[in-house]
Amino acid sequence: MLPLPRRIAVGIDTVLDRTVAPGYTRVGQAIRRRLPTWPADPDPGALAGRVAVVTGATSGLGLATAEALARLGAGVVLAARDQVKGRRVQQELSERLPQAELQLARCDVSDLDDVRRFVDELDVPRVDVLVHNAGAMPPERTESAQGHELTMALHVLGPVLMTELLRPRLAGGRVVLVTSGGMYAQRLRADDPEYLQGDYSPTTAYARSKRAQVELLPVLDQRWAPEGISVHATHPGWADTPGVVDSLPTFHRLTGPLLRDAGGGADTTVWLAATEPVPTGGRLWHDRRARPTHLLPRTRSGDAERAELWEWVRAQLDLPPAP
């Protein structure tokens, strides 16, 4: 059989992406893996001697990411809020990967004071890969320890603060924000980042916070560029994780047979962490390809809205402006 021309392969990949289903399912990923445009896997041992920190590492995508990074040779810090569960997961991973260097550290990413403590106590001289995976979709409007709407605290404020505090140890490293395809349905609400207006919807709040992550990508990539830190975001498609089961039971019931496993959902995050050369930062990725950040005209944001959101984030975290 003659190889598929590259332009046709790109066209197939793009159609899968724009139609959402089946592109976000395990079917879409299986098709893409067979196209000539699918990038090569990272080399075995690609992360040997490197250190990776993964938040929300005790289940779902976070656990799959931590295990895959360890299999590539990285020493992995499992950052988890639930230490009982964390110790169990650490033990299970150690049994599967007896040569892996695994460290458990407590961190509630939504609590800014706990993020500061976590960074102060983190016992590693450097961080080569930082994966912001911790996430939640509370059923009603909930506030963090500092009084911020929880999804914005957990998905935006906490990750930005953690990265900012780790900048000296992250020099030359990579930061990956695990976002969600759900953000495509929402526009940036820089005018209401705390979701104080209108009736609260958990799925809308979640998607808004993920939209905020994606909108801030170029800002963060530019801010941390002086240290050689590249910033990326990935969305996993539709993956079968405990978070989906708990937060979206109807969706899980209807799409269950088509959902990717956690490893499939974490694939691009791991690829971005380990592939060489370092992909261009400030972009959104899905199935190892940079994707558009908007699919609908009504969700498009301008530079002014992005700047307004960044100024809000900077003010909440008391960060100095970039030089």
Cβ neighbours around 308 below 10 Å, total: 15
Shared-domain flag, residues 14 and 131: no
Quote the domain boundaries for residue 21: 1-38
Shared-domain flag, residues 182 and 60: yes
What is the pLDDT at residue 230? Answer: 98
What is the pLDDT at residue 2? Answer: 53
Q: What are the residues facing 131 on neighbouring strands? A: 54, 176
The answer as to whether 86 is a domain residue is yes
What is the pLDDT at residue 182? Answer: 93
What is the pLDDT at residue 144? Answer: 98
Cβ neighbours around 280 below 10 Å, total: 10
Shared-domain flag, residues 24 and 127: no
219, 283 Cβ separation under 8 angstroms: no
List the chain pLDDT tens, one digit each, 323 residues: 457 899 999 999 999 999 998 899 999 999 999 999 999 999 999 999 999 999 999 999 999 999 999 999 999 999 999 999 999 999 999 999 999 999 999 999 999 999 999 999 999 999 999 999 999 999 999 999 999 999 999 999 999 999 999 999 999 999 999 999 999 999 999 999 999 999 999 999 999 999 999 999 999 999 999 999 999 999 999 988 888 777 788 877 878 888 999 999 999 999 999 999 999 999 999 999 999 999 999 999 889 999 999 999 999 999 998 76
Shared-domain flag, residues 30 and 175: no
Triad 305, 307, 308: Cα angle to 5°: 65
The answer as to whether 323 is a domain residue is no
Side-chain-facing half-sphere of 143: CA atoms under 13 Å = 6
Shared-domain flag, residues 54 and 24: no
- Model confidence pLDDT, tens digit, residues 171-217: 999 999 999 999 999 999 999 999 999 999 999 999 999 999 999 99
What is the pLDDT at residue 1? Answer: 47
Shared-domain flag, residues 25 and 135: no
Q: What are the residues facing 123 on neighbouring strands? A: none
181, 20 Cβ separation under 8 angstroms: yes
Residues whose CB is less than 8 angstroms from the CB of residue 168 and which lie 6 or more positions away in sequence, other chains included: 227
C-alpha closest to that of 134 among 213, 42, 194: 213
Cβ neighbours around 297 below 10 Å, total: 7
Q: What is the DSSP string of 240-307?
A: --HHHHHH-HHHHHHHGGGPBPHHHHHHHHHHHHH-SSPPPSSEEEETTEEE-S-SSGGG---HHHHH
User: 209 — phi, psi (to 5°)?
Assistant: -65, -35
Which 8-state DSSP code applies to residue 134? -
Q: Which residues of 185-212 are buried (b: 16+ CB within 10 A; e: fewer)?
A: bbbbbbeebbbeeeeeebebbbbbbbbb
The answer as to whether 279 is a domain residue is yes
Residues 239, 241, 243, 246: what is their CA dihedral angle, to the nearest 10 degrees? 110
Cα gap 302→293, rounded to integer Å = 13
| pTM of the entire predicted model | 0.96
The answer as to whether 245 is a domain residue is yes
* Helix residue ranges per DSSP H, the chain: 6-18, 26-33, 60-71, 83-96, 112-121, 150-152, 158-166, 202-215, 217-224, 242-247, 249-255, 262-274, 303-317
Shared-domain flag, residues 57 and 21: no
The answer as to whether 322 is a domain residue is no
Number of structural domains, the chain?
Answer: 2
Active-site hit among 24, 184, 195, 206: 206
What is the pLDDT at residue 53? Answer: 98
What is the pLDDT at residue 273? Answer: 98
Shared-domain flag, residues 139 and 245: yes
Domain with 201 in it: what CATH number? 3.40.50.720
Map residue 21 onto helix, strand or coil: coil
Shared-domain flag, residues 155 and 266: yes
Cα gap 319→312, rounded to integer Å = 10
Which amino acid is it at 186?
Q
Shared-domain flag, residues 48 and 26: no
C-alpha closest to that of 262 among 283, 285, 244, 286: 244
Task: Please give the span between the terminal C-alpha atoms of the chain, in angstroms, as a whole number.
Answer: 56
Active site (annotated) includes residue 195: no
Shared-domain flag, residues 14 and 163: no
What is the pLDDT at residue 4? Answer: 85
Shared-domain flag, residues 102 and 166: yes
What is the pLDDT at residue 179? Answer: 97
